[in-house]
Amino acid sequence: QVQLVESGGGLVQAGDSLRLSCAASGRTFNLYLMGWFRQAPGKERESVASITRIGANTYYADSVKGRFTVSRDSAKNTVYLQMNSLKPEDTAVYYCAAGRYAAAVPQYDYWGQGTQVTVSS
């Protein structure tokens, strides 16, 4: 069982930066693929970024490439999402999730409660 708690959301202006954190409980943090997702009002949840168990590989949605960076600190059981050059269209509730690959497909078993990010123009 893994519990995830996100923090770091807030209200910022376009062009600003935010860093989201996701603290994981338990001793098995290093076993999990970690992902960041977001859901804007009236839209489906979308994958934003992910990072493999030892941080060797990362994935980014095209919409955030070059602006967002995902990282993890195993000593702190925490995964981060550094968001730079924020745009109004980045406004959403951001969730972190812990999972694994099943037949090369990422599957997420545990989810945090979400943190709101609002970017004003």
**CA–CA separation, 51 and 34 (whole Å):** 5
pLDDT band at 62 (very low <50, low <70, confident <90, very high): very high
* List of residues 6+ apart from 105 with CB closer than 8 A: none
If pLDDT is split at 50, 70 and 90, which confidence band does 64 have?
very high
How many residues appear in the chain? Answer: 121
Q: Give per-residue pLDDT as tens, 77-101.
A: 999 999 999 999 999 999 999 999 8
pLDDT at 27 > cutoff 80 = no
Tell me the sheet residues that pair with 19.
Answer: 82
Contact 100, 43 (CB under 8 A): no
pLDDT score recorded for residue 67 = 98
pLDDT at residue number 7? 97
Pairing between β-strand 58-60 and β-strand 46-51 as defined by DSSP bridges:
antiparallel
